[in-house]
Chains A and B, each alone.
Chain A
Amino acid sequence: METSTVAYRPQVSEIDLLRLMIRMRAFEEVVITAARAGLIHGELHLAVGQEAVAAGMVGTLRREDALVSTHRGHHHALAKEVPIRPLLAEICERATGLCGGYGGHMHLFCPEVNFSTTGIVGASIPLALGYAYAAHLEDHDRVAVAVTGDGGAQTGAFHEALSIAGAWKLPLVVVVENNQYAISVPISAASPTKTIAERSPAYGAWGRTVDGSDVETVMNAFADAVAYARSGEGPAILEAVCWRFRGHYEGDVDLYRPAADKDLAIAKWDPLIRSRQRLIDRKVAGGEELDAIENEESSALQRLLAEVQKDPLPDPVNARQPFTAPRAL
């Protein structure tokens, strides 16, 4: 697994990158608040601890590049610059949400920035393959990114989509957000290969496994993966190893991961702590300044939740409409 062995090649300033990760975590925290307040009545899959995998795409990923994410995708939405208010409103089941309350937290669609999610594990990869084919047809250097997990990497969809992308040299980048567990099943019990990225030669793909809690490492590797795909050489598999700090869903008692292991893992894999320490060591920012950023982001999101909470709920009269014509945000 690669850690920061190469020099940081900044796509975005270090402080902006940390601020974004702080925002991602504060976002999940207000989502938890919203769920506890009864604003969200369904399942929630949060990405606390996995922020660096999403933030590492910023700067490299362009607006016209499609990103197809998963059931655990709020942080990817923020990395792709999905407008934060309709994003939170959709998760909170409001009429003002991205999808008017029809999608919910697992089904987010923002065509303006070419972002979407699917709730089905592995299904993001064939969808992104379609965007990759569109880029191929238009002879454009766009790429399409599919996010999946270590669980999704065991699906037939992973194999089929990468086979096609490899055979046809399509600009598909598969980001495997390997949080080491598919709900309760550890990757060691599910994968025939130690890493996912080592399968890349089978698909004629670029592949690399990196420490997904180190945002700079992810950023460098993601830039390499995307450069490969943009060059027309074919698909890329970037595996970012990370740790899911919370249960598979909110309310998961999570007895399958021993408590002591979890405590150690959280200490080891927290991308925010890691970046914060690095910025302090490099004298890019002081602790107080970073504390202030955390407070700002957290307060802003709490204010946003307070606003969104007052938004109207979807009118049940519209539940039966079939939607045949596209609707703008």
Chain B
Amino acid sequence: MLTDRNLNISQYIAEAIELEMAADDRILVFGEDVGRLGGVFGTTRNLQRRFGSDRVRDTPIAEMGFVGMGVGLAMAGYRPIVEIMFVDFIGVCLEQIYNEMAKIPYMSGGRVSVPMVIKTAGGSIGDAAQHSQTLWGLLAHLPGMQVVAPSCPYDYKGLLAGAIRDDAPTVFIEHKAHLLLKAEAFSHGATVPQDAYVVPLGKANVVRRGSDVTVVSLSNCVNLSIEAAVELATDGIEVEVVDLRSLVPLDTETVCESVARTGCVVVVDEDYLRFGMSGEIVAAVVEQLGPQAVRGISRIALPNVPIPAALTLESEVLPSKQAIVSAVRSLAGSQ
């Protein structure tokens, strides 16, 4: 089964959209190069051929125009999926995203819903300051928006279907380092059913059980955390890895249940440290469990500089397996 279905992540994404579009005529896809090309990473491949250029449409480079168009279509009863090629470009249309898409359900007192997905790629693959960010902390900070970022093939397909079927505005952030990887490259969630299914939004996934330290993460840092956990296990340190899957909704229950057992938490985040996910997770743990329940806290995230170009510089600022191993060792050793 796995051999037959050993596709790459971009194919699973296209498959999820195709299945949802076949089931619901109201779903539309807009974005730069999503039609003829099938997406710069291939995540919308074959969709225009199957569903036509009215439902799957290449847009000009006019994000403010076509994101706003998506919001208007959602208000008119459609379920648009709008692609922003790289999440870094969101600045040019943030107005429509945070002032219109995210706020209209609340501002209208629930009169108008905006069942829309922004699908975008984030994360570092060596493209430096303007093409490497994740920005999920920024998007999660703004009220009204759901923010999803998967870590494995099973979740890419299932969480995207969940986001498309959900009535709330949602940003779905793919990791660029994942998109062209085959399923067999993943150590968890590598088996992907052919049929449609949904991974519900807001339920974290404990991807590895352990009793010594809890590592909380998202997207590609989950994969790094698993690699670190495998290495640490050879020294007898058992790490529990929690994949948040989404920042909004945030499953603090699963996180706190784990930290209550281990007493130590390491948050690994490929977003900026300051005012971000790592601080939010630590605050939630301390508020809910009380300071006495937590013996050790560590945060691994991007230092507050833009992402540099040269590999030597980039490696220094990005979370790494080695940084996770060191952080966990230091917490485990202090017990």
Q: Which residues of A contact B (CB under 8 A)?
A: 66, 68, 97-103, 107, 109-111, 116, 118-120, 123, 125-134, 136-137, 144, 156-157, 159-161, 163-164, 167, 321-329
Contact = CB atoms under 8 A, between A and B. Distances in A.
B19 to A, nearest CB: 21
B75 A103 contact: no
Interface residues of B, number: 40
Contact of B68 (A125, A324, A326, A329): A125
A167 B106 contact: no
A103 B107 contact: yes
B315 to A, nearest CB: 37
A127 B68 contact: yes
Nearest to A164: B65
A320 to B, nearest CB: 10
A157 B64 contact: yes
A323 B109 contact: yes
Interface string B70-112: 1111111110100000000000000110011001111111111
B68 A98 contact: no
A128 B69 CA distance: 7
Nearest to B66: A164
A99 B71 contact: no
B284 to A, nearest CB: 17
A68 B72 contact: yes
Interface stretch (B54-62, B204-212, B239-247, B319-327): B54-62
Interface of B: 28, 54, 59-60, 62-78, 80, 95-96, 99-100, 103-113, 144, 167-168
- Secondary structure at the A interface, as helix, strand, loop or mixed, is mixed
A107 B112 contact: no
B178 to A, nearest CB: 29
A324 B105 contact: yes
Given A118-B100, A130-B74, 20 more contacts: A97-B109, A102-B109, A103-B107, A109-B109, A109-B112, A111-B111, A123-B96, A125-B68, A126-B68, A129-B68, A130-B71, A132-B72, A133-B72, A136-B54, A157-B95, A161-B65, A161-B69, A324-B167, A327-B110, A328-B111
Nearest to B67: A126
A163 B72 CA distance: 16
Contact of A324 (B54, B62, B75, B168): B168
Contact of B75 (A111, A119, A123): A111
Given A111-B112, A120-B95, A137-B54, A126 B105 contact: no
6 contacts: A98-B109, A99-B109, A103-B107, A107-B103, A120-B99, A137-B78
A308 to B, nearest CB: 16
A323 to B, nearest CB: 4
B3 to A, nearest CB: 41
Nearest to A328: B111
A324 B113 CA distance: 7
A144 B75 CA distance: 13
Nearest to B112: A109
A167 B53 CA distance: 14
